[in-house]
Amino acid sequence: MALEAEITRRDLLRAGAVGTLALGAGSLLGSDAARAASSSLLASTPKRGGTLRVGIAGGSPTDDFDMAHINGPSATVRGQVFYETVTYLDGNFRLHNDFLAQEVQPNATGDRWTVRLKPGVEFHNGKTLTADDFLFSIRRLLDPKSGATAAGQLLGIDLKRTRKRDKRTVEFVLKRPFSVFDYLLSDIVYVVPVGYDPKRPVSTGPWKFKSFQPARRTVLERFPNYHGTLAYADELVLTELPDDTARVNALVSGQVDAINQVPYARVAQLKRQSGLRVAVSPTGGFNPITMRVDVAPFNDVRVRQAIRLVMNRKQAIATALYGQGTPAADTYGRFDPSFNARLTREQDIEQAKSLLKRAGKEGLKLELVTSPIAAGIVEASQVLAENAKAAGINITVRKVDPGTYFSQYGKWPFGIDFWVGLPYLVIASIKDGPGASVVNVTHFNDPQFNSLFNQASRQLNQQERTQIVHEMQKIQYERGGDIIWSFQNGVDAYSTKLGGIQPIDKTAWGLGRAQLNKLYFR
């Protein structure tokens, strides 16, 4: 299945790069893809028309449609569906430097990046995409007043020295080298035209804005001048259904055609249901249990390693994720080409006990603060507490609501976190590398790790970089503050009336990287 999805994607993207805009070409492409794939699910000819209804998790009455505000699961989906980035990381974890960009080139030291935009990409308001628009978008994201979610990851940009070189070219100057800046640009760095008004949003995306009601629904329609695959459906309705049960019910009773974030407990049952197709994808997303390495008792690496060793990861995956996960070994970056998959960690109570004994921390009493901020994390916390008893560690699990949890985010000595599967160095740059601040909840600040991070940031050669990253992952494995116990699956569900489904999305963003323009009614 992974292979088939890949072929479809590659074909469609190649065509997108050639710049096929005509309506007919879009469907021709689809049938090409269908010939290439043998799966019966892809064997139907894509048709235009219809209203595609998708139920999505999350949603708050305070949400808006601003390209800068990508806080929470529903804003994430809306952003991906509507806005576009210059580079694009696909569901198979391949980066496309030719999405809105024509090419993205670093200098030899990795601290200057030249982004040349594609010609003739049109915004919904008829304006053609230029370097000014791209720069405007970056400046808007970095303006503290716009409250942009992406601000933290863009702090490395030297805005004063970054300028446009010509009508379609922007030269970024970075405060320090960053060898995966092109990956960074693919993550919620959305491009809007100069003079962008968040109340009347426009983008270069496949869907034009029609209406938006916070915590209720978003209505979009096909943008006929889209630079990629024209949307098959005439109209797209995203309905926000924060309650897991309601979301599943809406799909089962045929009120929506697809949903994201299927609760793990319902996967087995929905798979048996006729008329539905459950898309389960392995991802690099992870929901760690976090220990602050700067406060007692976690400032003792033996304590951290002992707690990591007591957790029965397979049991946690079976109980908390209903089997929808793969054991992890306290480091991240799965599916990144530089990920070291050879690291593993099994439960070892004896070693944990001996570590605690050597640290003089026998009979440890801890409070783990947890909150339902991600599927299964509360249950996983309880599994850890249960496992820890065997090593004489007494963990009290305190469950708080997400609002309370986030108000003290980064302060809890023993807490939790959630991450989608971004590339390794992108995560490290925000999470525990030398520049990390707000989301560095483990307060990890390791000189050797930081120095390796800087080396990797300068290293533009992928293979050389992989060597360095493996060393970084080893450090996290040996003395990091995260208990990364699993990479969880992403689960979406679709009605079998739909074709063009891309079941694999390793990034954990979901809904096949929200490529809803490629879904069609059979």
Partner 1 sequence: MTPTAEPTLAPEMPLQSPGSVSSGRRSQKSATALWMLRRLLLSLLVLFGVSVLVFVATQALPGDPAVQILGHGAQPEQLAALREQLGLDRPLLSQYGHWLGNVLTGSLGESLTSPQSVGSLLLDRALASLALVLSSAAIAIPLGIVLGSFGAIRRDRPFDYASQGVLLVLTALPEFVIGLALLILFGTTVFQVLPAVALIPSGGSAFMHPRELALPVITLVLAVLPYLTRLQRAVMIDVLESDYIQMARLKGLPERLVVRRHALRNSAVPVVQGSALTLIYLTGGIVAVEYLFAYPGLGSALTTAVAGRDLPVVQAIVLLLASVYVVINLVADFLTVLLVPRLRTQRA
What are the residues binding partner 1 (CB under 8 A)? 55, 59-64, 69-72, 144-145, 147-149, 151-152, 155, 198-199, 213-217, 239, 241-243, 245-246, 249-250, 252-256, 400-404, 406-407, 409, 430, 437-439
Judged by beta carbon, residue 7 or residue 142, the one nearer partner 1 is 142
Judged by beta carbon, residue 427 or residue 469, the one nearer partner 1 is 427
Q: Would you say 102 and 240 are in contact if contact means Cβ atoms under 8 Å apart?
A: no
277, 325, 508 from 286: Cα distances, Å: 24, 9, 9
Q: Would you say 163 and 114 are in contact if contact means Cβ atoms under 8 Å apart?
A: no
The CB-of-240 to partner 1 minimum distance in angstroms stands at 9
The CB-of-363 to partner 1 minimum distance in angstroms stands at 31
Q: Would you say 177 and 109 are in contact if contact means Cβ atoms under 8 Å apart?
A: yes
Judged by beta carbon, residue 250 or residue 395, the one nearer partner 1 is 250
The CB-of-22 to partner 1 minimum distance in angstroms stands at 34
The CB-of-311 to partner 1 minimum distance in angstroms stands at 24
Judged by beta carbon, residue 44 or residue 273, the one nearer partner 1 is 273
Q: Which of 75, 56, 96, 285 is nearest to 188 (CA)?
A: 75
The CB-of-286 to partner 1 minimum distance in angstroms stands at 16
Q: Which of 299, 337, 332, 508 is nearest to 428 (CA)?
A: 332
> In this structure, what DSSP letter does residue 92 have?
T
C-alpha angle with apex 54: 53 to 57, nearest 5 degrees? Answer: 150
Placement of tokens 């028309």 in the chain: 49
Judged by beta carbon, residue 153 or residue 455, the one nearer partner 1 is 153
Would you state the structure tokens that stand for residue 272, as one six-digit string? 């048996």
Judged by beta carbon, residue 265 or residue 400, the one nearer partner 1 is 400
Do the strands 289-291 and 95-96 form a parallel or antiparallel pair, or are they unpaired?
unpaired
Judged by beta carbon, residue 30 or residue 59, the one nearer partner 1 is 59
Q: How far is CA 175 from the centre of its chain?
A: 25
Judged by beta carbon, residue 322 or residue 419, the one nearer partner 1 is 419
Would you state the structure tokens that stand for residue 131, as one six-digit string? 């370097």
User: What would the DSSP string read from start to end of 324-362?
Assistant: -EEE--S---TTSTT--TT------HHHHHHHHHHHT-T
CA 183 to CA 227: how far, in whole Å? 21
The CB-of-231 to partner 1 minimum distance in angstroms stands at 21
Judged by beta carbon, residue 226 or residue 444, the one nearer partner 1 is 444
Judged by beta carbon, residue 38 or residue 62, the one nearer partner 1 is 62
HEC-encoded secondary structure of 265-325:
HHHHHHHHCCCEEEEEECCCCECCEEECCCCCCCCCHHHHHHHHHHCCHHHHHHHHCCCCE
Q: Is 457 left (phi over 0), alpha (psi -120 to 50) or beta?
A: alpha
Q: Would you say 259 and 492 are in contact if contact means Cβ atoms under 8 Å apart?
A: yes
The CB-of-196 to partner 1 minimum distance in angstroms stands at 14
The CB-of-268 to partner 1 minimum distance in angstroms stands at 15
Judged by beta carbon, residue 295 or residue 406, the one nearer partner 1 is 406
Write the burial class of residue 425 (CB in 10 Å: 0-12 exposed, 13-18 middle, 19+ buried): buried
Q: Which of 442, 490, 471, 505 is nearest to 343 (CA)?
A: 471
The CB-of-120 to partner 1 minimum distance in angstroms stands at 32
Judged by beta carbon, residue 143 or residue 346, the one nearer partner 1 is 143
Would you state the structure tokens that stand for residue 319, as one six-digit string? 């109980």
Q: What are phi and psi of 500, to 5 degrees?
A: 80, 15
Q: What are phi and psi of 250, to 5 degrees?
A: -60, -35
The CB-of-155 to partner 1 minimum distance in angstroms stands at 8
The CB-of-184 to partner 1 minimum distance in angstroms stands at 14
The CB-of-239 to partner 1 minimum distance in angstroms stands at 6
Helix (H, G, I), strand (E, B) or coil at 150: helix
Judged by beta carbon, residue 203 or residue 305, the one nearer partner 1 is 203
CB half-sphere exposure, 425, CA atoms < 13 A: 29
Q: Would you say 512 and 502 are in contact if contact means Cβ atoms under 8 Å apart?
A: yes
The CB-of-206 to partner 1 minimum distance in angstroms stands at 23
CB half-sphere exposure, 193, CA atoms < 13 A: 17
